[in-house]
A and B are shown apart, each in its own frame.
Chain A
């Protein structure tokens, strides 16, 4: 009798109809990106000016708060920085020397000099995913500025993520910490290749898991992880992070590493989109 009453109620059928429509919309727009992109353009265009202003306010407040503790440690920091400058000066001299030597050796071998300069587009972060599960940010540059889907996004610290979709004057960027992201990477020291799969089990919050590493790979804590360039999504050699732990996969002939990203995603304000690299232009879609 109770079930009969439920099936007779209009509310039940209305609820079922709305749920069915939403499930249909999800599966339809997951397959038909063109329709979804057309839908998001007007909404994001309306939202982005207000988001830009509030984002700037938020950054100003954050910077204001972070300045107070910084002031207390200013003298000590200054001394450390002076020391670092002296060290870096020495490194710079060595670097210039190696560069000259490298140019000479390359020209001797008749190799084409690799152009390590990327064509970058600076963009500001104007919004972040409102929830806690996914990591997507919104930037204020889009197709108008030559930004396309799958282009790599970096900061001076390292890799941030890649463009999920681009509208006329905005782009959605999936961070490398998102559990849906996938980036080819390698251990700089051992040259072992793997895949970075975002913050997934057993990586703690804010860390990323690197999978498919060979079992015999000698990975130690502190190893630097860089992009491998495989797949063409992210150019080779961009710093991603540092290994904090390496473990054997249970029941598999592989091992994984937990990587601490180099980029501080909490303080992400300005990013650079790599529009072309190694001579490629207009994106690097696989």
Chain B
């Protein structure tokens, strides 16, 4: 049930990202809310949940905007897993840590994306856009991460109450 609830939340975030998040676009770059949500959940709940949410996010992205299935799913699945695995034994209390790990997670995501893009022929010379795309998007994601992490913690508390205590 909890997984299904997370899938629904991810669907809602995806719709929000492809419509309302356009308002927050600066110089052609916007924050990637579904990715930040997957990264923050990976930090809070571990690599399995991070990989699962990354996978759901990627599959939806592939189906709605992609040319084929599996490209974004593979990249975001790996990113979620790596984020959860790296931060599994780290105390995530301070905001600065959440922000730093989101920044690093976005960098990891972009590196995997470039690597896969070159393998599948989806990109030509992406290195030119390392600074104009990768860095601003990592900074953008880093800035929204404390709010998203706070939301993830609240969602978890609600789910704990709803699924474990209430039923």
Q: Which residues of A contact B (CB under 8 A)?
A: 15, 18-19, 22-26, 29-30, 33, 36, 39-40, 43-44, 47, 50-51, 54-55, 57-58, 61-62, 126-134, 136, 138, 164-165, 172, 179-180, 197, 199-202, 204-206, 266
Top-9 shortest CB links A-B = A26-B70, A201-B128, A25-B70, A54-B19, A29-B68, A127-B18, A22-B74, A29-B69, A30-B68
Stretch at the interface among B119-127, B145-153, B157-165: B119-127
A residues in contact with B120, CB < 8 Å: 26, 30
Shortest CB distance A91–B (Å)? 34
B residues in contact with A133, CB < 8 Å: 113, 117, 123, 126, 129, 133
User: Is the CB–CB distance between B64 and A26 below 8 Å?
Assistant: no
Partner of B67, one of A30, A39, A202: A30
User: Is the CB–CB distance between A61 and B23 below 8 Å?
Assistant: yes
Partner of A132, one of B23, B33, B78, B137: B137
User: Is the CB–CB distance between A54 and B15 below 8 Å?
Assistant: yes
- Inter-chain CA distance A15–B19, complex, in Å, is 33
Interface residues on B, range: 35 or more
Interface centre among B15, B19, B32, B124 (most CB of A within 10 A): B19
- Inter-chain CA distance A40–B69, complex, in Å, is 9
A residues in contact with B21, CB < 8 Å: 130
The answer to whether residues A127 and B132 also contact, given A19-B78, A200-B125 and a CB cut-off of 8 A, is no
- Inter-chain CA distance A33–B67, complex, in Å, is 8
List the A residue with the shortest CB-CB distance to B13: A130
The answer to whether residues A130 and B18 also contact, given A25-B70, A26-B68 and a CB cut-off of 8 A, is yes
B residues in contact with A57, CB < 8 Å: 19-20
- Inter-chain CA distance A105–B93, complex, in Å, is 80
Shortest CB distance A173–B (Å)? 10
Say whether B144 faces chain A, with CB atoms less than 8 Å apart: no
- Inter-chain CA distance A201–B128, complex, in Å, is 6
Partner of A15, one of B22, B28, B67, B81: B81
Shortest CB distance B32–A (Å)? 6
User: Is the CB–CB distance between A138 and B64 below 8 Å?
Assistant: yes
Partner of A43, one of B20, B27, B63, B137: B63
User: Is the CB–CB distance between A129 and B28 below 8 Å?
Assistant: no
Interface centre among A131, A165, A202, A266 (most CB of B within 10 A): A131
- Inter-chain CA distance A24–B74, complex, in Å, is 11
Partner of A129, one of B65, B122, B125, B128: B65
Interface residues as binary, B41-68 with A (CB distance below 8 Å gives 1, 0 otherwise): 0000000000100010000110111111
Partner of B65, one of A61, A138, A201: A138
User: Is the CB–CB distance between B133 and A58 below 8 Å?
Assistant: no
B residues in contact with A40, CB < 8 Å: 63-64
A residues in contact with B137, CB < 8 Å: 132
Partner of B20, one of A15, A54, A131, A201: A54
List the B residue with the shortest CB-CB distance to A198: B124
- Inter-chain CA distance A20–B18, complex, in Å, is 29
A residues in contact with B28, CB < 8 Å: 132, 205-206, 266
Shortest CB distance B108–A (Å)? 15
Partner of B25, one of A61, A131, A197, A266: A266
Partner of B63, one of A39, A54, A126, A129: A39
Shortest CB distance A262–B (Å)? 17
- Inter-chain CA distance A165–B67, complex, in Å, is 8
The residues in B between 17 and 40 inclusive whose CB is less than 8 angstroms from any CB of A are 17-23, 25, 27-30, 32-34
- Inter-chain CA distance A40–B70, complex, in Å, is 13
B residues in contact with A206, CB < 8 Å: 28
- Inter-chain CA distance A33–B68, complex, in Å, is 8
User: Is the CB–CB distance between A128 and B22 below 8 Å?
Assistant: yes
Partner of A23, one of B29, B70, B72, B126: B70
